[in-house]
Amino acid sequence: MSDPHPARAPEKEDKRTFLQKVVEFIHPGPDSPEELIETLAEAESNDVIGADSRVMLERVIRMADRTAGDVMVAAPRMDVVNIDAPYDDLLRTIITTAHSRFPVYQGERENIIG
C-alpha cells in the first residue's frame, strides 16, 4: 500500500534517452550568459534560429541584469500626449519624438488614462 502523505514529493520522470544523457554529459550546456549568447550565435549560424530570434533572445538575456530604474524615465521627462490636444499638435509630438507609443493623459499630466 502506498503512503497517501509521502515525506518527499515524487521524483519527476526523466524523459531523456540514454543517448541524450550521454551527449549532455560530454557536452554540457552553457554555464553563463556569455556562453548562452555564444550558443545562440552558433544556432543562428547552423540555421536553427533566425537572426531576428537570436537578437531578441540576446537582448532578453542582457536585460536580466537590469533593474527597473535602469530603464525607466522620470515622469517629468516622459513624452506624453493629451487626449484633448488638437490633431496637428499630436502629429507634431509624434514626429519630433520618434516614439511609437505614448502614455495618454487627460487634464493633468499625472492623470494617465492609456
pLDDT grade for 42, boundaries at 50, 70 and 90:
very high
HSE value, Cβ hemisphere, 13 Å, CA-based, for 11: 3
Q: Which residues pair with 105 in a beta bridge?
A: 82, 112
Q: Which residues pair with 82 in a beta bridge?
A: 105
Q: Is the pTM of this model over 0.85?
A: no
pLDDT at 110: 92
User: Tens of pLDDT along 45-102?
Assistant: 999 999 999 999 999 988 888 888 888 888 889 999 999 999 999 999 999 998 889 9
Contact status, residue 107 vs residue 81, Cβ threshold 8 Å: no
Of residues 80 and 18, the one with the higher pLDDT is: 80
Q: What span, in angstroms and rounded, lies between the C-alpha atoms of 28 and 81? A: 51
Q: What span, in angstroms and rounded, lies between the C-alpha atoms of 32 and 30? A: 6
Q: Using the predicted structure, report yes or no on whether residue 8 has a pLDDT greater than 90.
A: no
